[in-house]
A and B are shown apart, each in its own frame.
Chain A
Amino acid sequence: MSSKSTVPPLVSTEWVQKNLDNPEVRIVEVDYDPQTAYYQGHIRGAVLWDWKRDINDPLTRDIVSKEGFAALCSRSGISNDTHIVLYGDFNNWFAAFAFWVARLYGHEKLSLMDGGRKKWIAEERELVKDTPSYPPTNYVVARVKYEHRVLLPDVRVRLGSPHVALVDVRSPDEYTGKILAPPEYPTEHAQRGGHIPGAVNIPWARALNEDGTFKPIEELRKLYESAGVTPDKEVITYCRIGERSSVTWFVLRELLGYPRVRNYDGSWSEWGNAVGLPIEK
């Protein structure tokens, strides 16, 4: 069983507003595009994690290393017992990715702000432009929780297993192979279209309301269970680069409490480009 988290995985904008001056909380904005987001104004006291620069390895295609993550937390003034509250642009996609990475590196007190940057702004809450700085800490990653992540060889050996549910969270057109890349990212196409054999298609956005907040728990449970994604199975989520699937990973693992959920961050940009792997259309 997973260890019990001491804070709720999801907090509201209202909660964040009330905890702006709470010294045990560090608010972090995670952006794909800080130019049109963080630098235009952010929650008072929030530090920036630039998804490309801070959450990914600068050289290898991989998430930030254990040492890199510890250094990132240290320079963000985050200690091992700080309550990190994440929010960001693009419907919290990259904030959810950072949440997943932080869990992987064993951070306990971790929350996502429901509705992300969009909701905070829509509610006309305060935004500031000055960048805060905090005294560095000595953050230590004690143990990597590999159970949250799955790599390609481990997906391959699970193909066809009745105990495994693969969830493809991309759009139906990407799932069926009608298109090789989402229209917003035309250059990031894969060599082949389709999906991993046996995967069911539950687009990530179906877990959200119009305003970007998550749907009620019972509705979420029904959404996944009706597609055969049940808590007795080992669940693997994937999308194109692993960011949208972190949102679904978050719903299943953190909100619904499924015991075994793993994000396959290699996702379609790995599977659809690799040689010799089976594909279903």
Chain B
Amino acid sequence: MEELAGCTFPRDAYYFLDSFLWLSETGEGRLRVGVLQVTQTLWGKIVSIRPKPAGSTVEAGRSICFVESRRFVGHLTAPFSLRIDEVNRSVAENPALLQRPPSNDNWLCSVSPLEGGYMGRLTDWEEARSVLEEMISSRGIVCFDEPPDYVYAALGIDCSQLLMILSDKIEGYPAGSLIHVIADYNKGSEGDLERWGEITGNEVLGYRIVGRVIHALIRSSASRRERK
């Protein structure tokens, strides 16, 4: 597995970046198809999908799945003509699983190519890497192990003040939501954030520091204080 900005990429998979797909061979000429974590930033959390049913044949460039996320509506398209052999039922029930790190569980469907030379439509990791690196830096992509429900950008706020504001803000989110907080990074921000989490009961699931910015993933406390 390779990692860029918190996004995981299987080294031995193939990539179809037009639709942000990863594909891995499962033997017998079949491939499993999944969605890349970079869509967490590009689309926001996926809220519903409508995959083409098992048995469908799909021409290259046509839709294998309709996707609706917080900020995007579109299709995942077939890189080559294919038949859909199986749709992952757990993903159909909980589509946000698709934006978790690629794994044996978080795939969308299993397909059989219907044309030869299909590898030419895909790129390998080495080739995909440079495109992804450029995309990650130009689009400010950061991945977490789970797609956030909400993004709270709090740049330009002094750290001690931020933690006060944040305690109040977090109350406005449904209990148990995942919130991606973006704030200015100062030395010691991580420690402050963790202490804040312990005091307020909000769980700090992880953070990434990119230059002078800290990206934190916070799960809002399940027990809420009563608002006066």
Chain A interface (Cβ within 8 Å of chain B)?
A: 33, 36-37, 40-41, 89, 117-118, 121-122, 124, 178-181, 183-184, 186-187, 189
5 contacts between A and B (CB under 8 A): A184-B70, A184-B150, A186-B152, A186-B169, A189-B172
Top 10 closest pairs, chain A to chain B, by CB: A179-B172, A118-B73, A36-B72, A186-B152, A183-B173, A36-B71, A121-B73, A183-B150, A122-B66, A186-B169
Which single residue of chain A is at the shortest CB-CB distance from B172?
A179
Given A179-B172, A181-B172, A183-B174, 12 new contacts (CB under 8 A) = A33-B71, A36-B42, A40-B72, A117-B73, A118-B68, A121-B75, A122-B73, A124-B75, A183-B149, A184-B70, A186-B172, A187-B154
Interface pair B172/A187, CB less than 8 Å apart: no
**58-105 of chain B: CB within 8 A of chain A:** 62-63, 66, 68, 70-75
Contacts of B70 in A (CB 8 A): 184
Interface pair A36/B150, CB less than 8 Å apart: no
Contacts of B149 in A (CB 8 A): 183
The majority secondary structure among interface residues of chain A is loop
Which single residue of chain B is at the shortest CB-CB distance from A118?
B73
Contacts of A181 in B (CB 8 A): 172
Which single residue of chain A is at the shortest CB-CB distance from B44?
A36
Interface pair B177/A183, CB less than 8 Å apart: yes
Contacts of B50 in A (CB 8 A): 122
Most chain B CB inside 10 Å of its own CB: which residue of A122, A124, A181: A122
Contacts of A40 in B (CB 8 A): 72, 74
Contacts of B62 in A (CB 8 A): 124
Q: How far is the CB of B61 from chain A (nearest CB, A)?
A: 11
**146-187 of chain B: CB within 8 A of chain A:** 149-150, 152-154, 169, 172-174, 177
Interface pair A178/B150, CB less than 8 Å apart: no
What count of chain B residues pass the 8 Å CB interface test? 24
B227 at the interface (CB under 8 A from A): yes
Given contacts A180-B172, A187-B153, A189-B172, contact A121 B66 (CB under 8 A): yes
B43 at the interface (CB under 8 A from A): yes
Contacts of A36 in B (CB 8 A): 42-43, 71-72
Most chain B CB inside 10 Å of its own CB: which residue of A124, A179, A180, A183: A183
**39-59 of chain B: CB within 8 A of chain A:** 42-43, 50
Cα–Cα distance between A89 and B72 once the two chains are bound (Å): 8
Contacts of A184 in B (CB 8 A): 70, 150
Q: How far is the CB of A107 from chain B (nearest CB, A)?
A: 27
Contacts of B73 in A (CB 8 A): 37, 89, 117-118, 121-122
Cα–Cα distance between A122 and B70 once the two chains are bound (Å): 15
Cα–Cα distance between A105 and B43 once the two chains are bound (Å): 35
Contacts of A121 in B (CB 8 A): 66, 73-75
Cα–Cα distance between A117 and B169 once the two chains are bound (Å): 32
Q: How far is the CB of A7 from chain B (nearest CB, A)?
A: 26
The answer, among A89, A180, A186, A189, for a CB contact under 8 Å with B150, is A186
Contacts of A122 in B (CB 8 A): 50, 66, 73
Contacts of A37 in B (CB 8 A): 72-73
Q: How far is the CB of A115 from chain B (nearest CB, A)?
A: 11
Contacts of B43 in A (CB 8 A): 36
Which single residue of chain A is at the shortest CB-CB distance from B153?
A187
Q: How far is the CB of B171 from chain A (nearest CB, A)?
A: 8
Cα–Cα distance between A130 and B154 once the two chains are bound (Å): 36
Which single residue of chain A is at the shortest CB-CB distance from B171?
A179
Which single residue of chain A is at the shortest CB-CB distance from B42?
A36
Cα–Cα distance between A122 and B67 once the two chains are bound (Å): 9
Contacts of B71 in A (CB 8 A): 33, 36
Which single residue of chain A is at the shortest CB-CB distance from B181?
A186
Which single residue of chain B is at the shortest CB-CB distance from A120?
B73
Contacts of B152 in A (CB 8 A): 186-187
Contacts of A118 in B (CB 8 A): 68, 73
Cα–Cα distance between A186 and B63 once the two chains are bound (Å): 34
Q: How far is the CB of B62 from chain A (nearest CB, A)?
A: 7
Q: How far is the CB of A187 from chain B (nearest CB, A)?
A: 7
Contacts of A178 in B (CB 8 A): 227
Most chain B CB inside 10 Å of its own CB: which residue of A36, A178, A187, A189: A36
Cα–Cα distance between A218 and B20 once the two chains are bound (Å): 43
Cα–Cα distance between A187 and B181 once the two chains are bound (Å): 12
Q: How far is the CB of A4 from chain B (nearest CB, A)?
A: 34
Q: How far is the CB of A37 from chain B (nearest CB, A)?
A: 8
**103-120 of chain B: CB within 8 A of chain A:** none
